[in-house]
Chain A
Amino acid sequence: MKLTSKQYAKILINNASGDNAAVAQKFWFALQKNNQYKDLPKIVAELDKEYARQNDSIFAEIISEHKLSSDEIKEIGDKLAKILNKKIISKNIAKANFGPGIIVRTDEMEIDVSMMGKIESLKQQLNN
């Protein structure tokens, strides 16, 4: 039976405290059996979210051109926690040619303070 990425993530998190080697073996066996290797990136992404959910937190992706410093990540997390009124678990993803600024993305919202975002917004305004 094929499972969704979210279901895989939940199973992995819930069994992480036991015999990790056995859990990993079963996980790979399931992926192979269901021919779902291609879903691995989605499962990994869901793992972050599921971990945050189980810790009563919100998972946030912070996209920037270069890796941000821990102070910058903390500052972003604090601001986001204030806005969403919940603890934040964040992950910084560096994307080449992203340009100045950042995008903060959760399941519920997206804050775009990137230069590319501003240019895109300007493009929309010009088109309208």
Chain B
Amino acid sequence: MEALGIDWKLLIAQVVNFLILIILLTKFLYKPIVKMLDDRSEKIAGGLAAAEKSQQDLKKADVDAEKIREKAFKEANEILANAKTEAGDEAKKIVTKAETQAEEIRKYAAEEALQSKDKSLQDAKGELSNLVTLALGKIIGEQLDEAEKKKMTGKAIKDM
């Protein structure tokens, strides 16, 4: 071996050095790099999962938002419909009340007119009867002489 120029001691020393180097490299370089790569892979996987979840959440949120929008739209329509119905009912009530009041006023006016007419007629009758009786009394008192009065009295006795 020596003929071949190999120095056993040096060879052994170099082997030992090489083993030490492998051990050191393994401990201080390979393992941290592998760990770093694993961590990075995990992080990427986690990010992807999170992105996927976010995507799903977004879709779900869109669906929920759509549902909420539809529900709100439906409720708004219901409120509007109810409001229209209530407004219609209220309008009907107001119209009915106004019609009732108008009818009452019409009846009252008709009764007033009738009463007024009756009163006027009664007053006219009263005046007419007073005039007639006054005129007749005057005629009897002034126009009839005693003979005529006696004659009329005699006729009244006979007609009794």
A interface residues with partner B (beta carbon < 8 Å): 64-66, 68, 72, 75-76, 79, 97, 99-102, 104, 111, 113-116, 119-120, 122-124, 126-127
Stretch at the interface among B7-15, B20-28, B149-157: B149-157
A76 and B160 within 8 A (CB): yes
In the complex, A101→B158 CA distance in Å? 10
Contact of A122 among B126, B133, B157 (CB under 8 A): B133
- Complex Cα spacing A114 to B160, Å: 10
Would B149 and A76 count as touching, CB distance under 8 A? no
Question: What 3 A-B pairs are tightest by C-beta distance, nearest first?
Answer: A100-B152, A126-B129, A113-B156
Count class of interface residues, chain B = 20 to 34
**Contacting A113 at CB < 8 Å: which of B128, B132, B137, B160?**
B160
* A100 contacts B144, C-beta separation under 8 Å: yes
What residues of A have a CB within 8 angstroms of the CB of B149 in the complex?
65-66, 99-100
Q: A-facing mask of B56-93, CB < 8 A → 1, else 0? A: 00000000000000000000000000000000000000
A-B contact pairs, 30 of them (CB 8 A): A64-B153, A65-B153, A66-B146, A68-B153, A76-B160, A79-B160, A99-B137, A100-B156, A101-B153, A102-B157, A111-B160, A113-B156, A113-B157, A113-B160, A115-B136, A115-B140, A115-B152, A116-B140, A119-B137, A120-B133, A122-B129, A122-B133, A122-B136, A123-B129, A123-B130, A123-B132, A123-B133, A126-B128, A127-B122, A127-B126
Bound Cα distance A99, B148 (Å) = 10
Additional A-B contact list (4), CB under 8 Å, known A101-B152, A122-B133: A66-B146, A79-B160, A100-B144, A123-B133
Instruction: Given A99-B141, A100-B149, A115-B140, verify A126-B132 contact (CB < 8 Å).
Output: yes
Interface string of B37-53 (1 = CB under 8 A from A): 00000000000000000
Decide if B128 touches A114 in the complex (CB within 8 Å). Answer: no
Q: How far is the CB of A127 from chain B (nearest CB, A)?
A: 5
Contacts of A101 in B (CB 8 A): 152-153, 156
In the assembled complex, the CB of B36 is this many whole angstroms from the nearest CB of chain A, namely 129
Is B159 a contact of A100 with CB atoms below 8 Å? no
Q: How far is the CA of A103 from the CA of B123 in the complex (A)?
A: 30
Q: In the complex, which residues of chain B have a beta carbon less than 8 angstroms from the beta carbon of A113?
A: 156-157, 159-160
